């Protein structure tokens, strides 16, 4: 029987979508290892306890609650020490967290202190004998590797959006634990700047509308924003060509050196489909591409393609989405 420990990522007092995805992955893994329990560390500023309900709905058996004012920002050292302390206090088969910006930072810290192997950017994890087998994309998502992780304990970070959060209600028990004393911090987060107000984060959005150099000018990004507004739940992304030119902030960049996303729907507008861009978005559930060049590589990964001028096609698409949503 293997219990699984999860770090439930939150920001601004709200759970990130990846937290529920990690709990879902842990539920499956605990079940497959012979009926283990799912234990979750929920750490945040005072008031975060209110998020316990969502964790119980998705299958947490025990919630270790840490409320501390210093957790209003990402207190990486104290968080890592707290999760490591909890992992040492129980007999865990795995520690799961999201492969988000914060998860990329925490995962290796936790693994190093536990002297445990780590598998990052994982699409799923299953037990196989004494090992855990995880699926990990490589070569810009062109191949999927099956990695067998030996040893009694593994740290695994799951790719946001790869595992759909599934409800599996439990009557979770909550236990308050203390925030561990942080070792001298090498890096301290002093301020968190919010992205565009009113839009979901690229990692959480079910729909992403992304624009490339085919838009011709920064001001034409307006049509990308309008299509995102029409969907109502969309984030706006961009290629590196666009962020390098200063049309959009670097935080919008999707790709090998930007954000890795896997929304339900990705709309690529005036994007050629360079391998470095595909590395960040080809795992999206459904891809729609609009490009005037029918040979553009983006069409090779697209589920639906429209060959045409973005300045004509996108406003028409926006109108169609508005009409479809208005008619229910």
Which of 113, 199, 213, 322 is the binder for ligand FAD (CB under 6 A)? 213
What is d(CA 254, CA 260) in angstroms, rounded to the nearest whole number?
6
Residue span binding ligand FAD (CB under 6 A) among the ranges 67-75, 86-94, 125-133, 265-273: 265-273
The whole-angstrom distance between residue 70's C-alpha and the CA centroid of its chain comes to: 24
What mask, x for binding ligand FAD by CB under 6 A, covers residues 56 to 95? Answer: ----------------------------------------
- The tokens of 289 are what? 């591409």
Identify the residue among 162, 310, 317, 321 touching ligand FAD (CB under 6 A): 310
Shortest Å, Cβ 267 to ligand FAD: 13
Out of 176, 293, 303, 325, point to the residue binding ligand FAD (CB under 6 A). Answer: 293
- Minimum Å distance from CB 193 to ligand FAD? 20
DSSP β-bridge partners for residue 175: 64
> Residue 94 in 3-state DSSP?
strand
Of 212, 283, 317, 318, the one binding ligand FAD (CB under 6 A) is 212
For residue 38, give the H/E element and its range: strand 38-44
Q: Among 3-11, 66-74, 156-164, 266-274, which window interacts with ligand FAD (CB under 6 A)? A: 266-274
Cβ burial of 185 (10 Å; 0-12, 13-18, 19+) is exposed
Q: Does 258 bind ligand FAD (CB under 6 A)?
A: yes
Q: Per the structure block, which two tokens stand in for 52?
A: 């316990």
Contact, 96 vs 26, CB < 8 A? Answer: yes
Total residues in contact with ligand FAD, by rule CB under 6 A:
27
**28 near ligand FAD (CB under 6 A):** no
Identify the residue among 91, 167, 303, 309 touching ligand FAD (CB under 6 A): 309
Q: Are 280 and 254 in contact (CB under 8 A)?
A: yes
> CB of residue 263 vs ligand FAD: minimum separation in angstroms?
16
Residue 213 tokens read as: 């150099």
Task: Render the burial of 75-112: b for 16+ CB within 10 Å, e for the rest.
Answer: bbbbbbbbbbbbbeeeebbbbbbbbbebbeebbebbbe
Binding mask 170-209 for ligand FAD (x = CB under 6 A): ----------------------------------------
Question: Which is nearer to ligand FAD, 3 or 239 (by Cβ)?
Answer: 239
Q: How far is CA 185 from the centre of its chain?
A: 25
User: Binding residue for ligand FAD (CB under 6 A) from 256, 264, 315, 322?
Assistant: 256
How many CA atoms lie less than 13 Å away from 243 in the CB half-sphere? 17
Q: How far is the C-alpha of 274 from the C-alpha of 283, rounded, in Å?
A: 15
Alpha-carbon gap, residue 318 to 229, rounded angstroms:
9
DSSP annotation string for 221-269: HHHHHHHHHHHSSEEEEE-HHHHHTTSS-GGGBBSTTSB----SEEEEE
* 249 interacts with ligand FAD by CB under 6 A: no
Tokens of 2: 């293997």
Choose the binding region for ligand FAD from 2-10, 39-47, 87-95, 307-315 (rule: CB under 6 A).
Answer: 307-315
Residue nearer to ligand FAD on the CB measure, 68 or 307? 307
CB of 318 to ligand FAD, least distance (A): 15
Sites of contact with ligand FAD (CB under 6 A): 212-214, 239-242, 253-258, 270-272, 274, 276-277, 280, 291-293, 296, 309-311
């Amino acid at each position: 029987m293997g219990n699984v420990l999860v770090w439930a990522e939150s920001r601004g007092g709200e759970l990130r979508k990846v937290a529920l995805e990690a709990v879902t992955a842990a539920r499956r893994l605990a079940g497959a290892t012979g009926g283990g329990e799912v234990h979750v560390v929920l750490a945040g500023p005072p008031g975060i306890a209110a998020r316990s309900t969502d964790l119980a709905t998705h299958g947490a058996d025990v919630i270790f609650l840490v409320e501390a004012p210093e957790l209003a920002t990402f207190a990486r050292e104290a968080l890592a020490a707290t999760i490591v302390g909890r992992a040492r206090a129980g007999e865990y088969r795995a520690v799961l967290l999201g492969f988000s910006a914060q998860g990329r930072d925490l995962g290796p810290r936790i693994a190093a202190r536990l002297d445990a192997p780590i598998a990052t950017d994982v699409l799923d994890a299953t037990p196989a004998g004494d090992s855990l087998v995880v699926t990990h994309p490589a070569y810009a998502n062109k191949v999927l590797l099956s990695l067998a992780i030996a040893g009694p304990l593994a740290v695994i970070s799951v790719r946001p959006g790869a595992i759909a959060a599934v409800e599996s209600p439990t009557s979770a028990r909550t236990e308050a634990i203390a925030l561990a004393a942080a070792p001298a911090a090498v890096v301290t987060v002093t301020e968190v700047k919010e992205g565009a107000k009113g839009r979901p984060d690229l990692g959480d959005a079910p729909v992403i509308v992304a624009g490339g150099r085919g838009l011709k000018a920064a001001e034409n990004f307006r049509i990308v924003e309008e299509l995102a507004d029409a969907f109502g739940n969309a984030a706006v992304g961009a290629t590196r060509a666009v962020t390098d030119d200063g049309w959009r902030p670097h935080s919008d960049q999707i790709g090998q050196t930007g954000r890795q996303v896997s929304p339900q729907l990705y709309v690529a507008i005036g994007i050629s489909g360079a391998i470095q861009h595909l590395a960040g978005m080809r795992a999206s559930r459904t891809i729609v591409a609009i490009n005037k060049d029918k040979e553009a590589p983006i069409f090779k990964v697209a589920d639906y393609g429209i060959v045409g001028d973005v300045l004509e096609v996108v406003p028409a698409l926006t109108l169609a989405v508005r009409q479809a949503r208005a008619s229910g």
